[in-house]
């Protein structure tokens, strides 16, 4: 979803879901002089991305509901409308169904309870940030990197939002108050939406770069990274200690970082996790590990690409992990077995 945002958002009147008539073609508003997002609001208004009200106000501190923000984000991400996916909720207004359904189908959001989306509830700052991180395609990175949110009230952040806000803070997308608080459970305001939508519209490449810079030390080892130099917005040079320098396109690098971080993350699962997996989850787990071995950027090479390794590896892990072996790393056992049996070999 990462690259879909810019063109779509530049044509989106993002606050049109609020049921009031907008002020026509005005780049400034009478009530934003003290708003922390004044410059962002004006830039978005000048670009035709947002509108205010007929009385010349923007109402920056007014709340925005979950349904309203869902419509904004679904349109911004250019997601296919999906009314059916919203049918699980009994509180979604007709106008919001295709947008909430689109986000649910894309895995960007879910309800506040089994049958409730919470459409008329003001969206919290943490929920807005979670949806933005997922919409930008950063959710996996948030899980793999697991940064502690750099805010004084980090312990007030809900578990489901912790990694996402930690990542958003690390890449400087989520900035809190001047006092260092994020206020995760406070209702988000229109100025909050404008500030973050501005970043997505105009600065996404910056955050892609920040994401790469945060992930590079985890993948290459912080002691091995001498310098990271950007040739332009899309090309980066990674200088490594006693290793060849790499020059790579950003999209390719992010794909490599994702694949490697996923491998490291999965490798940290243990036998007590394995025995809880369903058969389908076990095959999926091993399939992802094998996919990394097969990747050009892997430090392994599969010796016989025509052989389906998954069944044999699943069988081995099933036989190994019993009540006496639950605290062994799945990844370590998988690698050792594959190396010992000649399924893979190291490339470096």
The mean pLDDT value for 68-92 works out to: 89
Are 174 and 293 found together in one domain? no
**Which pLDDT band holds residue 317 (cuts at 50, 70, 90)?**
very high
CB-based contacts of 39, cutoff 8 Å, min separation 6: none
262 part of a folded domain: no
Q: Which two tokens stand for residue 132?
A: 């933005």
Specify the 3-state DSSP secondary structure of 238.
strand
Give the C-alpha separation, 260 to 220, whole Å: 10
231 part of a folded domain: no
Are 204 and 285 found together in one domain? no
Give the C-alpha separation, 100 to 114, whole Å: 15
Does the pLDDT value for residue 289 go beyond 60? yes
Are 142 and 39 found together in one domain? yes
Can you point out the beta strands (E) in the chain? 225-232, 235-240, 246-249, 300-302, 344-346
Domain boundary among 170, 190, 212: 212
**105-142 residue pLDDT tens:** 999 998 999 899 999 999 999 999 999 999 999 999 99
**139-192 residue pLDDT tens:** 999 999 999 999 999 999 999 999 999 999 999 999 888 899 999 999 999 999
Hunting for tokens 């984000």 — which residue is that?
Answer: 73
240 part of a folded domain: no
Phi/psi at 197 (5° precision):
-65, -35
Q: Which long-range contacts (CB under 8 A, 24 or more apart) does 95-98 make?
A: 95/71, 96/67, 96/68, 96/70, 96/71, 98/74
Are 84 and 152 found together in one domain? yes
**193-243 residue pLDDT tens:** 889 888 877 888 999 999 999 999 999 999 999 999 999 999 999 999 999
Are 196 and 50 found together in one domain? yes
**Which pLDDT band holds residue 27 (cuts at 50, 70, 90)?**
low
Give the C-alpha separation, 292 to 234, whole Å: 24
Q: Which two tokens stand for residue 206?
A: 């910056």
Domain boundary among 175, 197, 212: 212
Are 69 and 207 found together in one domain? yes
282 part of a folded domain: yes
DSSP line for 91-143: S--GGGHHHHHHHHHTTS---SBTTB--TTSBPBHHHHHHHHHHHTT-HHHHH
Q: What is the pLDDT of residue 323?
A: 85
Are 77 and 204 found together in one domain? yes
User: How many domains is the chain partitioned into structurally?
Assistant: 2
Q: What is the pLDDT of residue 49?
A: 66
Are 163 and 61 found together in one domain? yes
Which residues are 236's β-sheet partners? 230, 248
Are 49 and 177 found together in one domain? yes
249 part of a folded domain: no
CA angle 92, 97, 101 (to 5 degrees): 110
Residue 342: how many CB atoms within 10 A of its CB? Answer: 9
140 part of a folded domain: yes
Are 194 and 319 found together in one domain? no
220 part of a folded domain: no
Are 75 and 190 found together in one domain? yes
User: Domain limits at 320?
Assistant: 268-348
Specify the 3-state DSSP secondary structure of 40.
helix
Residue 36: how many CB atoms within 10 A of its CB? Answer: 15
What pTM did the predictor assign?
Answer: 0.86
259 part of a folded domain: no
Q: Which two tokens stand for residue 99?
A: 């947008």
Are 152 and 289 found together in one domain? no
């Amino acid at each position: 979803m990462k690259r879909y945002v810019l063109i779509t958002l530049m044509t989106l009147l993002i606050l049109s879901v609020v049921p009031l008539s907008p002020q026509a073609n005005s780049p400034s508003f009478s009530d934003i002089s003290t708003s922390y997002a004044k410059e962002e609001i004006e830039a978005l208004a000048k670009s035709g991305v947002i509108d205010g009200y007929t009385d010349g106000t923007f109402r920056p501190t007014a709340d925005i509901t979950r349904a309203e923000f869902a419509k904004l984000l679904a349109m911004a991400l250019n997601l296919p409308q999906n009314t059916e996916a919203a049918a699980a909720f009994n509180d979604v207004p007709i106008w919001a169904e295709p947008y909430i359904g689109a986000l649910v189908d894309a895995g960007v959001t879910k309800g506040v309870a089994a049958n409730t989306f919470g459409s008329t509830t003001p969206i919290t700052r943490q929920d807005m940030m979670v949806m933005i991180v997922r919409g930008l395609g950063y959710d996996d990175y948030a899980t793999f990197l697991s940064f502690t949110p750099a805010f004084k009230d980090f312990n007030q952040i809900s578990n489901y939002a912790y990694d996402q806000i930690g990542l958003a803070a690390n890449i400087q997308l989520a900035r809190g108050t001047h006092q260092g608080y994020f206020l995760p459970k406070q209702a988000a305001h229109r100025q909050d939406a404008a500030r973050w939508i501005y970043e997505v519209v105009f600065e996404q490449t910056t955050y892609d770069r920040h994401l790469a810079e945060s992930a590079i030390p985890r993948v290459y080892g912080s002691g091995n990274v001498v310098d990271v130099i950007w040739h332009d917005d899309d090309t980066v040079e990674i200088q490594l200690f006693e290793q060849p320098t790499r020059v790579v396109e950003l999209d390719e690098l992010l794909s490599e970082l994702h694949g490697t971080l996923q491998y490291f993350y999965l490798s940290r699962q243990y036998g007590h996790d394995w025995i809880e997996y369903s058969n389908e989850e076990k095959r999926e787990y091993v399939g992802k590990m094998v996919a990394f071995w097969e990747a050009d950027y892997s430090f392994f090479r599969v010796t016989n690409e025509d052989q389906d390794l998954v069944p044999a590896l699943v069988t081995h892990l099933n036989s190994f992990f019993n009540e006496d072996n639950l605290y062994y790393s799945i990844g370590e056992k998988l690698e050792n077995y594959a190396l010992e049996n000649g399924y893979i070999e190291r490339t470096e």
